[in-house]
Amino acid sequence: MARSINQNAGANVAAPAAKRGAIQNAYGSALPNFRNLGILLRIVLIVNVVALIAVIVKSPALTALSAPLMEVALLVEPLLILTLVVLYLLNGLLARLTYVSGALAVTGIALLLTAVLYLGARDFLPIELSDIGRYWLLVALVSAILLSYFNLRARALSPALTEARLQALQARIRPHFLFNSINAVLSLIRQEPRRAETALEDMADLFRVLMADNRELTPLSREVELCKQYLNLEQLRLGERLQVEWHIDKMPGDALIPPLVLQPLLENAVYHGIEPRTEPGVVSINIYASREQVHAVLRNPYAMGGNHHAGNKMAMGNIRERLQLHFDAEASLNTRVLDDAYQVHIVLPYRRGGAERPA
């Protein structure tokens, strides 16, 4: 497994600048995932807000809004529901298109469904329908607004922006971890050379992944293996002070998650929960699947009034933004302070198989 991480991370590090730029653009210009609950709710909300504004602007007085609202609802809601159903079914095909082609396809689908509903409903809807050209114009305008909104939102949530803030945290923590790990390995070279060699291999694999361009989703099993390598290195210097409990017998190893989601949380657990203690402390990791969701629950010792600096909040904020980028409202990260423990609970949709595009 270590060699797998090594090769995968090495390929990422060696990727040319042009390839990294292409990945960056993919984050900045990508169609929304029409099978994501958060995306669908946003579309419904935006379309209805636009329709409400149009009714308010057109109505002479606010007291006379009920009838125009009913007429607009009879026109907008069936089209909106039908369009979302079609986009949901065609999401896989749309994902393979370039951004421009996909945007044109989405707009074309909306216009086609507008024509279908117009021709099929004009004989029995109890309202007066205007020329179809007017509805096409409105649908095209709303489609452009929605696509622009999701494009701007994807750019705002791009890891290229959040990574810049994370680097400030890494600049403080990584050298601390690196120097301590090197000293721990040096102490093993003579007494346990084989163990020292394994530790150096783990260090090389870990730092290759940390320095790689990690924007694609990765199997959960690979992230867990990386976390084990990290904790093994920490145990070299902390010894019996660091106790690790893994509960992963129900873990779905094929689930896709953003890389480096769990490892920074474990780094915080060690830095804030174990290092300040003189007695042994337990870091617990429980990962399981339930109702098509993946749950990861991490716990570490917690002392009230301890030194929990802003770096912890920065790492949490970065992970939240990356979860939102990939999964939108379908993912969450919650923290709790228990009696003597600090708990982080991550919930993700259970997505299997190949690469998944951002939400």
Instruction: Report the CATH number that the domain containing residue 303 is assigned in CATH.
Output: 3.30.565.10
pLDDT at 272: 85
* Same domain (yes/no): 266, 290: yes
Residue where one domain finishes, among candidates 110, 135, 156: 156
pLDDT at 313: 66
pLDDT in tens, 78-98: 889 999 999 999 988 988 888
pLDDT in tens, 4-14: 444 444 444 34
* Same domain (yes/no): 285, 260: yes
* Same domain (yes/no): 110, 214: no
Residue 224 lies in a domain: yes
Residue 126 lies in a domain: yes
* Same domain (yes/no): 128, 200: no
* Same domain (yes/no): 288, 146: no
* Same domain (yes/no): 41, 61: yes
How many structural domains is the chain composed of? 2
Residue 271 lies in a domain: yes
Residue 61 lies in a domain: yes
Q: How far is CA 343 from the centre of its chain?
A: 20
Residue 358 lies in a domain: no
> For residues 286 and 218, what is the distance between their CA atoms, to the nearest angstrom?
19
What is the amino acid identity at position 263?
Answer: Q
CB under 8 Å to 170, separation ≥6 — which residues? 210
pLDDT at 342: 92
Q: How far is CA 31 from the centre of its chain?
A: 15
* Same domain (yes/no): 185, 320: yes
Residue 143 lies in a domain: yes
Look up the domain containing 62 and give its range.
31-156
* Same domain (yes/no): 189, 300: yes
Residue 359 lies in a domain: no
* DSSP per-residue codes, 202-240: HHHHHHHHHHS---S-EEHHHHHHHHHHHHHHHHHHHGG
* Same domain (yes/no): 131, 226: no
Residues of the chain under the 50 pLDDT cut: 1-28, 161, 164-173, 310, 354-359
* Same domain (yes/no): 89, 199: no
* Same domain (yes/no): 16, 45: no
* Same domain (yes/no): 88, 208: no
| The CA-based dihedral angle spanning residues 350, 287, 319, 339, taken in that order and rounded to the nearest 10 degrees | 140
Residue where one domain finishes, among candidates 101, 134, 156: 156
pLDDT at 168: 43
Residue where one domain finishes, among candidates 156, 180, 208: 156
